[in-house]
Amino acid sequence: MSNWITSFFKPTKPATPSDMKKFLIVGLGNIGADYVNTRHNIGFKIVEFLAKKELVPFEIVKLGEIAQFKTKGRTILLLKPNTYMNLSGKAVHYWMEKENIAKENVLIITDDLNLSFGTIRIKAKGSDGGHNGLKSIQSILGTTEYPRFRFGISDAFKKGRQVDYVLGEWDEQEKNLLPERLTIASDVITSFVLSGLQNTMNDFNGR
């Protein structure tokens, strides 16, 4: 990667103490009524759950919707990109630059076929795992080293039906279990902001 590209994707201003207390939490998903309750939109669902819990609305902004609140001296920005999944990196990069947020203070929330339903896995870095949203983020940020929170949706689909499954809606059993899992997922975000990535991984991975 050239020096020009490397420098382009770093914050343009030196981080201030205030910047270090600012966090960007990105729920990945697709916009539109057809996708609202699909497995692929669990990122949207999680940040929406936390925003409702904190009584803050989402506002339409450039490249997405944002809800913002403060907790214990830290500012949390909840972002739902409106770029569709395969261009998620555009929104992530734009808001990192605009708010001068380092990648260590960014948490990307996405679905994962390789984990059983509701299972949580937080990592500091990793491959895109074939996920188009993570592919876009990796491509635009030029790195695989950013925190990500994978929420398991299982792989209970027949051969050749992966797309239909991922873009399908939760079954009845999943719907009944989802509120509890969303509560735990929102606790993951709070822990990431207040206790840090390592403690969050220790406390929540595998739950």
Catalytically active residues are 40
- Whether 93 and 141 have beta carbons less than 8 Å apart is answered as yes
How many whole angstroms separate alpha carbon 203 and alpha carbon 199?
6
The dihedral through the CA atoms of 16, 89, 68, 118 has a sign that is: negative
Name the DSSP letter for residue 38: B
